Structure 1
Amino acid sequence: MDKTIINQVIILFLIMLVGIFCRKKNILTEESTTSLSNLMLNITLPALIISSFNYTVSKELEFNCLRIFIYATIIHIFLIIISKFLCFKEAPDSSIVLRSSYIFSNAGFMGYPLMAGIYGKVGVLYTAIFGIPYNIILFTFGSFLFSKKSFKSSKKDVLKTILLNPGIIATFLGIMLMLTNLKLPEPLFKAVSSIGDMTTPLAMIIVGGMLSTVNFKDIFKDKKMYLISFIKLILIPILVYLVVTILGETKELRTICVLLEATPAAVVVSIFAKRYNIKEDLAAKVSFITTLLSLFTIPLIMSIL
């Protein structure tokens, strides 16, 4: 399991370094980075979401899947509330980035291989189910956090924009496909899956481009980064452990929920920050430092479980 975690972190950093190199050499420009961010949010990420629901749920797994869905919903609502208190002293823009980083983990990229290494195919299924409320909340509450400053129009217009978000549409389409056991035609599914597979490398290249202007020495010298990392990688998994334990869950499902929340800050937070021009440097720093430190904290959390 530890080797799986280490491999995923190394992969993340290698791809991130490609982004840094491309931006330093001006292969990526400011404009192209923004265009890639829009491509990821509007095309590749929705494709990844749809392809992740390509499961036929057997009767024996339905109850566990329902519980995972409920726990994921409770966990993210809980984190929305807790993050408000954790960031109450922060400036408005910093609060948006940090709250999003605390609420949304990098469960997609690191979660699937991590759960597959521990529980096999059923772990992948549980991770996909966990991702349903995750994606709904990400593209509703998460989008609202970032977009509310960008809209001068009514709340109705903001809500309309969020509900028409490709990520939300993809999530509901995926749910419908899974519940009805409908399968996309093989060529269409492979096309959608291939496009979705672009999401992780594309996202990390974008984050690398954003990090290209950051002084790495400043990241490690900034004591606040360590506090943020402690909250994200240690405190929040412990709080999630307590919540799921209070709900009386079995060790297996409890471990899944905790480990998925013990992964680093979601890369998509950096993408949102880039898109809405809100503290993208802070978002990139948090993504970088939490990804690096997760190499040590995830095995620690696993040993506690």
Structure 2
Amino acid sequence: MENFNAQFVISFLIIALGYCLKKWNILKEKDGEAMARLIFNVTLPSLIIVTFHSITIDSSLMMLVVLGFVYGIIVAILGLFIFRKEERRNKGMLGMLIPGFNIGLFAYPLVQGIWGEVGIKYFGMFDIGNAIITFGVSYLIGSYYAKEDVVLNFKHVAGKMGRSIPLMTYVIIFIINLTGLSLPGTVIDITSVISKANMPLSLLLLGIYLNFSFQKSYWKGIGRVLGIRYGVGLFFGLLGFFLLPVDDMFRYTVLIALILPMATSVLPYSVEFKYNQRFVGTAANLSILISFVLLWVIGNMIV
């Protein structure tokens, strides 16, 4: 329990430092773009390599991949049904915010600090299914409703998924692991050093992107999005936590993963599809704040 609360305090202080650095004009939000590219393309893939290069993938871990994918499909369909009467573009914007979780930036720093590589292993397996939802399903929803008479271009979506370095790192390491091959020791040594930067950089980036300027006109739409995300997530998370006949770490993963913030990819999607970027940014910020509080409360109850 002490380690759990200590990690939350440390994480909160690093996020606060990132926010203060932005407010003091030492760093700007545009600097966060370069930092985000560094995290997603270098430190996060390094952490994935270090964690997954030698793990034994059993059926229970594979079940997490399936859960991450299936849950994303279910909640995406539910969201589109609830927003079915919305104007087309609004339906697309709201719909793409429902599926997908911010695991790489938000969950990994906390999980790494509390449970170490064991926690990363479990959340990483869930993130494989989640990544397909984030870079596939969420993108398809945003793309399809952005304009009238849009024809879904699956080749374009597949290409976008193929350009996701974290997702491709998962796939490559997964294949290497299943074939019984091993990476050179030099690769593991280098990635091990680089991976240590993932936690502080990710938390600083969350602070840099944090914004408390909200427009009142957004509350209704954002309230519906967050209500679906956290209402459904808590329901299925608690159901899985109490009913699934699995080990504790698996149960923690299911419960916590389903109440994580929305994926950071929704921000570039809103730019690409010309949706209301301020609305999307506000929703993403609020989901970070809500998830942080929920994880602290729930964590003190279960850990």
How does the TM-score come out when normalised to structure 1?
A: 0.71
Deviates more, 1:166-175 or 1:272-281: 272-281
- Relative to 1, partners in 2 of residues 1:70 and 1:197: Cα closer, same or farther, differing over 3 Å? same
Q: How does 1:161-180 map to 2 (within 5 A)?
A: 161-167=159-165, 168-180=167-179
- Relative to 1, partners in 2 of residues 1:186 and 1:196: Cα closer, same or farther, differing over 3 Å? same
Tell me, yes or no, if structure 1 residue 215 matches structure 2 residue 213. Answer: yes
Tell me, yes or no, if structure 1 residue 250 matches structure 2 residue 245. Answer: yes
Instruction: Measure how far apart 1:28 and its partner are.
Output: 3.2
The aligned residue for residue 128 of structure 1 is 124
Equivalents in 2 of 1:220, 1:201: separation in Å? 34
Equivalents in 2 of 1:270, 1:228: separation in Å? 15
The question of whether the paired residues in 1 share the 8 Å contact of 2:108 and 2:199 is answered with no
What does the per-residue CA deviation read over 1:63-96, in whole Å, with 9 as the maximum and x for residues that have no partner? Answer: 3223323333322222222222243345555544
The aligned residue for residue 82 of structure 1 is 78
- Relative to 1, partners in 2 of residues 1:227 and 1:24: Cα closer, same or farther, differing over 3 Å? farther
Equivalents in 2 of 1:70, 1:7: separation in Å? 29
Deviates more, 1:66-75 or 1:3-12: 3-12
The aligned residue for residue 233 of structure 1 is 230
Q: State the one-letter code of the partner of 1:264.
A: P
Equivalents in 1 of 2:20, 2:281: separation in Å? 12
Instruction: Measure how far apart 1:62 and its partner are.
Output: 1.4
The aligned residue for residue 54 of structure 1 is 53
The question of whether the paired residues in 2 share the 8 Å contact of 1:270 and 1:284 is answered with yes
Q: State the one-letter code of the partner of 2:121.
A: L
The aligned residue for residue 18 of structure 1 is 18
What does the per-residue CA deviation read over 1:36-66, in whole Å, with 9 as the maximum and x for residues that have no partner? Answer: 5555555554444444423321xxx713223
The aligned residue for residue 279 of structure 2 is 282
- Relative to 1, partners in 2 of residues 1:174 and 1:221: Cα closer, same or farther, differing over 3 Å? same
- Relative to 1, partners in 2 of residues 1:220 and 1:195: Cα closer, same or farther, differing over 3 Å? farther
Equivalents in 1 of 2:81, 2:302: separation in Å? 26
- Relative to 1, partners in 2 of residues 1:54 and 1:276: Cα closer, same or farther, differing over 3 Å? farther
- Relative to 1, partners in 2 of residues 1:116 and 1:16: Cα closer, same or farther, differing over 3 Å? closer
The aligned residue for residue 100 of structure 2 is 104
- Relative to 1, partners in 2 of residues 1:2 and 1:229: Cα closer, same or farther, differing over 3 Å? farther
Q: State the one-letter code of the partner of 1:136.
A: I
Instruction: Measure how far apart 1:296 and its partner are.
Output: 3.8
Tell me, yes or no, if structure 1 residue 261 matches structure 2 residue 266. Answer: no
Equivalents in 2 of 1:37, 1:123: separation in Å? 23
What does the per-residue CA deviation read over 1:270-305, in whole Å, with 9 as the maximum and x for residues that have no partner? Answer: 354456654332232223222222344336656599
Equivalents in 2 of 1:267, 1:230: separation in Å? 19
The aligned residue for residue 298 of structure 1 is 295
- Relative to 1, partners in 2 of residues 1:104 and 1:27: Cα closer, same or farther, differing over 3 Å? same
What does the per-residue CA deviation read over 1:123-172, in whole Å, with 9 as the maximum and x for residues that have no partner? Answer: 4422222122122332222344455659x998255145224323342231
Q: State the one-letter code of the partner of 1:155.
A: N
**Structure 1: segments with no counterpart, 5+ residues:** none
Equivalents in 1 of 2:5, 2:77: separation in Å? 29
- Relative to 1, partners in 2 of residues 1:121 and 1:46: Cα closer, same or farther, differing over 3 Å? closer
Q: State the one-letter code of the partner of 1:232.
A: R
